[in-house]
Amino acid sequence: MAAQRGGVRTDFEFQVYQGADVLGGSSLRLSDVAGVGTPVVLNFWAGDCPPCRFEMPDLQRSHERHQGDVLFLGMDVGVYTGLGSPRSAMALMDELDVTYPVGSPPDRRAVDGYSVRAMPTTVFLEADGGVFERWEGAINESQLEVILSKILQ
């Protein structure tokens, strides 16, 4: 799918599955980690979503390459899309050795606020928290790198 530009950042709460040490807590709001000087790759995904499974290794490699410059934040929304549960999400993270921070919102506010209509959906937030770009559907490593090179200029 093609990328789309523009949009407004929506704040929402989320519980951290992993990465609380990186994020600074286990129960946070997006505004606690976005808009504080570091670009964020906000990836909405689900544990039982085949395209999500396909893109996760590429997200992991980009996370490792850009650690410290870009925050990767996975957001499990499987319970809101009918594509998984926290259990299936954690199993997928373990299976694919995902190490970047991951959480899950307590309600649909994040899904609705970011108009998540396709799984996965990735939203690239600028250092000030504004939406730089969004990508609906699976994204690969080279596509990630093109967008990250622009946001990091």
Read off the DSSP letter of residue 138. Answer: -
Residues 146, 18 contacting (CB under 8 angstroms): no
User: Side chain identity at 39, as an amino acid letter?
Assistant: P
Residue 9 has pLDDT above 70, yes or no: no
Tell me the backbone φ, ψ of residue 146, rounded to 5 degrees: -65, -45
Q: Work out the average pLDDT over 8-17.
A: 87
**Chain segment 112-138, per-residue pLDDT in tens:** 999 999 999 999 999 988 999 999 999
Task: Return the higher-pLDDT residue of 90 and 36.
Answer: 90
Q: What is the reported pTM?
A: 0.93
- Residue 34's contacts (CB-CB under 8 Å, 6 or more residues apart) are 9, 40, 42, 71, 125, 129
Q: Work out the average pLDDT over 15-30.
A: 96
Domain CATH number, residue 11: 3.40.30.10
Residue 15 has pLDDT above 70, yes or no: yes
Residue that is written with structure tokens 């969004």 in the block: 134
**Chain segment 77-126, per-residue pLDDT in tens:** 999 999 999 999 999 999 999 999 999 999 999 999 999 999 999 999 99
Domain carrying residue 97:
3-151
Report in angstroms the alpha-carbon separations of 135 from 38, 68, 106, 121.
19, 22, 23, 6
**CA 115 from centre of chain:** 14
E strand or H helix at 78: helix 78-81
Question: The tokens of 74 are what?
Answer: 């996975």
Per the structure, how many domains does the chain have? 1
